Amino acid sequence: MTLNIGVIGTGVIGQNHIRRLGHVVSGTRVTAVSDVDTGRAQAVADKLSDIPTVHATGQELINDPRVDAVVVTSWGPTHEEYVLAGIAAGKQVFCEKPLATTRQACERILDAEIAAGRRLVSVGFMRRYDTQYREMKDVMGRGDIGAPLMMHAAHRNPSVPDHYTSDMIINDTVVHEIDIARWMFDDEIAAITVLTPRRSSKAREGFNDPLLVLLEMSGGVVVDVEAAVTIAYGYDVRGEIVCESGTVELSESPGPIVKRAGQYTGRVPSDWGERFADAFDIEFQAWADAVGAGTTTGPSSWDGYAATVACDAGLEALRTERRVPIVMRDRPDLYA
Ligand code: NAP
């Protein structure tokens, strides 16, 4: 059976996922699209061989009986409305991160899903599907390098657009390390601290780049995250976990290392699309297979809620220059 997907938001990642759902993932086809800019949605639809219906609104798309499941790739502040509408319609929803931009909005989604009595939402934290992160978790789980003590992480972007703010370094960049830390250690974050190192000369006045973020996990592991978003040389995601008797780290380069004339070189990806292309493919195949089988998989609304709460605390830590404890509501049974 082919799963008919409606995509809300036809910007950069929306177009990326439309291509993926049409040409990479098996068992899916995009039958409907919408965007706040209907002209853009139409232009995107017109380029596809199997032209989808263009809806004037996301709500209309969700109510389309020819849409079996919904992918939300619009601007973050619009996610709550579409995810809640998807739940109300009883349809599976894949929502790009963030699940929603405030703690309260995430809680409304949790409450709606709990009232529906089953998981209907999956959040796009695609790093959980990256082969290297998965192998890292497997190595650590085997236990032969001892218990984890610390993780050093770095998230470096070559550049960001002019509208990118210091808050977005937490909400849009470090949010991925926040999710990875929770997933990697099967643990919640107890407190967050944000340090502001010397400002890069590439960062405009008032823009705090880079940031150094400390995540204290409830079980005692400490994760330091360097976030540097004007680093120029490429998109570089680093990670090393220090355990009691060994370490495990992500590879330096996704491709081969070439040694020649006394030097060695490897490729640095240009952006997140290149670095995590395979992870997105695997993530969507897993989601489509699960939805086709009448269930869902992947990061849940609880994971989306936890990430947003941690980001809120991170923003407070950035503003106050203080360590901020993270307080969440009790985890509902639906997300056990
Ligand atoms: P983008 O290029 O700005 O695309 C967002 C699209 O949604 C735009 O076409 C925007 O139109 C449209 N939109 C805004 N309000 C809408 C509404 N009310 N209804 C329907 N469409 C609406 O942004 P993007 O880079 O694709 O990011 C989209 C989402 O994906 C964000 O939540 C972002 O955080 C997430 N994302 C995740 C990853 C990842 O690594 N997992 C990477 C990139 C992005 P206008 O431009 O006219 O406002």
Q: Which domain holds residue 252?
A: 131-270+307-335
Q: What are phi and psi of 239, to 5 degrees?
A: -165, 135
* CATH code (residue 27): 3.40.50.720
Same domain, 9 and 143: no
Same domain, 102 and 167: no
Q: Is 11 in the pocket of ligand 1 (CB under 6 A)?
A: yes
Same domain, 30 and 140: no
**pLDDT of 227 above 90:** yes
Same domain, 97 and 161: no
Question: What's the pLDDT at 57?
Answer: 98
Confidence of residue 255 (pLDDT cuts 50, 70, 90): confident
Atom index in ligand 1 nearest the CA of residue 280 equals 41
Q: Is 264 in the pocket of ligand 1 (CB under 6 A)?
A: no
**Which of 8, 10, 13 has most ligand 1 atoms within 8 Å of its beta carbon, as the pocket-test mutant?**
13
For residue 1, the 8-state DSSP code is -
Which of 112, 111, 76, 74 minimizes the C-alpha distance to 91? 112
Question: What's the pLDDT at 45?
Answer: 98
Confidence of residue 252 (pLDDT cuts 50, 70, 90): confident
Same domain, 48 and 104: yes
**Which of 44, 70, 74, 106 has most ligand 1 atoms within 8 Å of its beta carbon, as the pocket-test mutant?**
74
Beta strands (DSSP E) in the chain are: 3-8, 28-34, 53-55, 69-72, 92-96, 121-124, 148-156, 189-195, 211-217, 222-228, 236-243, 247-249, 258-260, 263-265, 324-325
Same domain, 108 and 152: no
The whole-angstrom separation of Cα 50 and Cα 114 is 36
Same domain, 119 and 136: no
Same domain, 47 and 79: yes
What total of structural domains would you count in the chain? 2
Same domain, 12 and 104: yes
Cα 56 to ligand 1 centroid, rounded to whole Å: 16
Residues 2-15 have a mean pLDDT of 98
Confidence of residue 30 (pLDDT cuts 50, 70, 90): very high
Residues 278-309: tens digit of each pLDDT: 999 999 999 999 999 999 999 999 999 999 99
Q: Is 124 in the pocket of ligand 1 (CB under 6 A)?
A: yes
Least confident residue range of 201-205, 223-227, 279-283? 201-205
Residues 201-210 have a mean pLDDT of 95
pTM of the model: 0.96
Cβ-Cβ contacts under 8 Å for 84 (sequence gap 6 or more)? 108, 109, 112
* CATH code (residue 179): 3.30.360.10
Residues 246-255 have a mean pLDDT of 90
The whole-angstrom separation of Cα 18 and Cα 25 is 10
Residues 160-181: tens digit of each pLDDT: 999 999 999 999 999 999 999 9
Same domain, 248 and 261: yes
For residue 145, the 8-state DSSP code is T
Mean pLDDT over all residues of the chain?
97
Residues 109-134 have a mean pLDDT of 98
Same domain, 196 and 317: yes
**Helices and strands (H, E) in the chain, number of each type:** 11, 15
Same domain, 204 and 246: yes
Least confident residue range of 74-88, 216-230, 244-258, 301-315? 244-258
